[in-house]
Amino acid sequence: MTLAAIPAETTADPIADLAEPGPIGRTLLDHQARTESNARTYPRRLPVAVAEASGSYLTDVDGRRYIDFLTGAGVLALGHNHPDLIEAVRRQLTKLTHGLDLPTPVRDEFRRRQLGMLPESMRGSMKMHFCGPTGADGVEAAVKLCKKATGRGTVVAFQGSYHGSTHGAMSLTSETSPKTGLHNLLPGIHFAPYGYCHRCPLSLRPETCATNCAEFLANTLTDTHGGVQKPAALILELVQGEGGSIPAPEKFVHRVAGLARTLDIPLIVDEVQTGCGRTGTWFAFEQYGIEPDVVVASKGLSGMGLPVSVIMYHERLDVWSPGSHIGTFRGNNLAFASANAYLDVLERDNLLAHVLQTGDYLFAALRQLQRETVLVADVRGRGLMLGMEMAGTAVASATEVATRFQREALRRGLIVEIGGREDCVVRLLPALNVSRETTDEALAIMRDATRAVEKEVLS
């Protein structure tokens, strides 16, 4: 497939400039800026005040339409307001909304079906714990459980990682800027190099590297002078999301998982963003053929953004005593109902196959775009969790190129995120049921946006 098969012109009116809010949107954005926390992020780069949404499309308060390739940072697995999920939630609303950890039929079905989505070899030995409603809550619970089960205090995370912004989860996140001015974060956190071959942390080349990043970790943990005590856990993202849509190399993952098993260190896989079908399998770890000790799931679980977070872990780690890790909002029965309906849609529509097919199609088109421009340095990802790392020029840094691309895409009616090191990666997280027509429309906009940025930064 080539981009020549994709319409070169977008459907958005180039005069409208959808990156500039309309009068009603400007009023709402101004109100927000005056009264909401300075920590708000998305409206700064994506000044869109949303009125309503359906599927892969948003409509702002001034009546302008956008393609949404951000989908609530990946939580909207079936896009906005999927009718089957809406109906499931509507039915549950008339029965029960909140139940703490009391058993309910919809909770029981949720637990049974989610454990059933694990590989068959894991199902008989895994238990589930309901956490607070966010992915960070799940990460906190996973680390706390492993510390309690092992009696050890240190944790190994990886460079480029993102696990959340709560106290403990931020401690496990490698980016330093959010930690500026924050003291006494979680002690005993060590960061190992991740298999990021485009920017190798060890300055090696893939063709001559024998997973040296994993060997670095192995040497650190087995050397009596390595400086790191045996940790309570290793925590790993199979595709680093906020870190720049970086899929871990298979050999790297196998070495890390084997090391954890040999040294009897629980392996936590953070599937908050990669899980629930995003990469083309229910969990990304399935594609690597490993069996982690703890799985953290959250974002896409409900399929429509209703908050829910769980950890699934090997029964040998189940050392919780009653009340040792609780939370008021661990009984969101609306989210359970939506999640059950999501699995119905997943099975009925053969959604995982669609994710793989659409992901391959989108990936090939982005690779074609990379061949056509010097502004795209790398294209990577799995399934519908993709990224384009942008390249700098003589007059603009890679960060500036990515920022300009995001704005030019928004002007034409496409919402994308940027992230990664130095914010130079354009991240694509479309709905998992995105149509070929919408995908082509988004690709045409990305092609136009690239040409517009080329005119600005190539001299």
Q: What is the pLDDT of residues 315-361, one digit of tens each?
A: 999 999 999 999 999 999 999 999 999 999 999 999 999 999 999 99
- Which structural domains are found in the chain, ordered by start? 3-82+351-457 (3.90.1150.10), 98-331 (3.40.640.10)
The pLDDT score that the predictor gives to residue 208 is 62
The pLDDT score that the predictor gives to residue 212 is 77
DSSP letter string, 325-381: S--TTS-BHHHHHHHHHHHHHHHHTTHHHHHHHHHHHHHHHHHHHHHH-SSEEEEEE
Q: Which two tokens stand for residue 141?
A: 């619970």
314 strand-pairing partners: 126
Q: Which two tokens stand for residue 34?
A: 């005056």
Q: What mean pLDDT comes out for the span 413-430? A: 97
Q: Is the pLDDT of residue 270 over 60?
A: yes
The pLDDT score that the predictor gives to residue 13 is 44
104-128, pLDDT tens digit by residue? 999 999 999 999 999 999 999 999 9
Integer Cα distance of 357 and 344 in angstroms = 20
The pLDDT score that the predictor gives to residue 171 is 96
Integer Cα distance of 100 and 93 in angstroms = 16
222-240, pLDDT tens digit by residue? 999 999 999 999 999 999 9
Mean pLDDT of the chain, nearest integer: 94
246-265, pLDDT tens digit by residue? 999 999 999 999 999 999 99
Integer Cα distance of 130 and 124 in angstroms = 18
The pLDDT score that the predictor gives to residue 234 is 99
376-406, pLDDT tens digit by residue? 999 999 999 999 999 999 999 999 999 999 9
Q: Is the pLDDT of residue 137 over 50?
A: yes
With contact defined as beta carbons under 8 Å apart, do 77 and 276 qualify?
yes
Nearest to 45 by CA among 318, 422, 417, 346: 417
Q: Which of 87-96, 145-154, 192-201, 310-319 has the lowest mean pLDDT?
A: 192-201
Integer Cα distance of 8 and 231 in angstroms = 53
The pLDDT score that the predictor gives to residue 17 is 87
The pLDDT score that the predictor gives to residue 214 is 86
Nearest to 149 by CA among 238, 74, 78, 232: 232
pLDDT band at residue 204 using 50, 70 and 90 as cut-offs: low
Q: Is the pLDDT of residue 207 over 70?
A: no
pLDDT band at residue 25 using 50, 70 and 90 as cut-offs: very high
Percent of the chain with pLDDT over 70: 94
Integer Cα distance of 203 and 206 in angstroms = 10
Percent of the chain with pLDDT over 90: 89
The pLDDT score that the predictor gives to residue 210 is 60
29-69, pLDDT tens digit by residue? 999 999 999 999 999 999 999 999 999 999 999 999 999 99
CA dihedral for 36, 42, 46, 50, sign (positive or negative): negative
Q: Which of 14-23, 110-119, 203-212, 279-288 has the lowest mean pLDDT?
A: 203-212
Helix (H, G, I), strand (E, B) or coil at 115: helix
The pLDDT score that the predictor gives to residue 5 is 44
Name the burial class of residue 321, with classes exposed (0-12), middle (13-18) and buried (19+) by CB atoms within 10 angstroms of its CB: exposed
1-21, pLDDT tens digit by residue? 444 444 444 444 444 689 999
Q: What mean pLDDT comes out for the span 78-102? A: 98
Q: Is the pLDDT of residue 369 over 70?
A: yes
